[in-house]
């Protein structure tokens, strides 16, 4: 009986997992402030611990900007990202410098998105999650919650 209920719960919750990716409850305010000012404060599970570490090590010259973080905030952010990082094997290589948008997992999830949308002026870049996912700031990535008509297929 217990197993049946568990199987039912798992069955119901699995499809919802991938499109709900809110920031973890223990997200430090420093992460939202320091890493959410130029772009979305990305969900930590979308890069591996090693790739986050490489990202943090290169903040002084971060995609053409200086995104350095000082002192205590730097340690707090590093510990947070390590704690919630995704599995390197499942994500696939993120390139150098690491990009969420270069991982095999990202490509796989977006394989049905027509090419013209990536360069659409409303989107501009693949890293602009909110350009397509209007609920991204709240962690909502459902295909039923997209910002642009016709985006899906
Ligand atoms: C001063 C602005 C700025 C700040 C602050 C900043 N970033 Fe960025 N970040 C950028 C830019 C610009 C890009 C490149 C976006 C693009 O390709 O469209 C980027 C891209 C990224 C990417 C790769 C996105 C992709 O393509 O998958 C990651 C990961 C990232 N930032 C993490 C962080 C983290 C972690 C912090 C906080 C320590 C941070 N950023 C703070 C400007 C910033
Ligand atoms: C050009 C538009 C576009 C951009 C930019 C974009 N996405 Fe998506 N994304 C989509 C579409 C469309 C889907 C639905 C794909 C499908 O169901 O075939 C999707 C699906 C997803 C899914 C899977 C949801 C599920 O139901 O499993 C996740 C997670 C996701 N996106 C995260 C992101 C993140 C994080 C970013 C930014 C780093 C991003 N997306 C940028 C269009 C975009």
Our answer on whether the CB atom of 55 is closer than 6 Å to any ligand 1 atom is yes
Residue bearing the CA closest to ligand 1, atom 5: 67
Q: How confident is the model at residue 111 (pLDDT cuts 50, 70, 90)?
A: very high
Q: Is the pLDDT of residue 7 over 70?
A: no
Rounded CA-CA distance 55/96 in Å is: 9
Name every residue whose Cβ is closer than 8 Å to that of residue 52 and which is 6 or more positions away in sequence. Answer: 44, 78, 81, 82, 85, 98
Residue bearing the CA closest to ligand 2, atom 12: 152
DSSP string, 62-126: BTTB-----HHHHHHHHHHHHHHPBPHHHH---TTTT-GGGSHHHHHHTTTS-GGGGG-TTT-ST
Our answer on whether the CB atom of 60 is closer than 6 Å to any ligand 1 atom is no
Our answer on whether the CB atom of 126 is closer than 6 Å to any ligand 2 atom is yes
CB atoms within 10 A of CB 52: 23
Tell me the pTM.
Answer: 0.92
Q: What is the pLDDT of residue 69?
A: 98
Which ligand 2 atom minimizes the distance to the CA of 148?
Answer: 2
Q: What is the pLDDT of residue 119?
A: 87
User: Any idea where the domains of the chain sit in the sequence?
Assistant: 21-92, 110-153
Tell me what the mean pLDDT of segment 143-148 comes to: 90
């Amino acid at each position: 009986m217990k197993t049946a209920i568990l199987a039912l719960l798992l069955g119901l919750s699995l499809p919802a997992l991938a499109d709900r990716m809110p920031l973890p409850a223990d997200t430090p305010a420093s992460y939202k402030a320091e890493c959410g000012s130029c772009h979305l404060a990305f969900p930590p599970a979308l890069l591996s611990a090693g790739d986050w570490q490489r990202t943090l090590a290169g903040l002084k010259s971060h995609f053409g900007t200086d995104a350095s973080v000082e002192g205590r905030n730097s340690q707090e952010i590093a510990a947070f990202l390590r704690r919630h990082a995704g599995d390197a094997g499942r994500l696939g290589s993120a390139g150098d410098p690491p990009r969420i948008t270069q991982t095999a997992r990202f490509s796989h999830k977006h394989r049905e998105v027509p090419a013209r949308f990536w360069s659409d002026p409303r989107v501009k870049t693949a890293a602009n999650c909110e350009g397509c996912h209007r609920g991204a700031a709240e962690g909502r990535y459902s295909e039923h919650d997209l910002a642009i008509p016709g985006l899906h297929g």
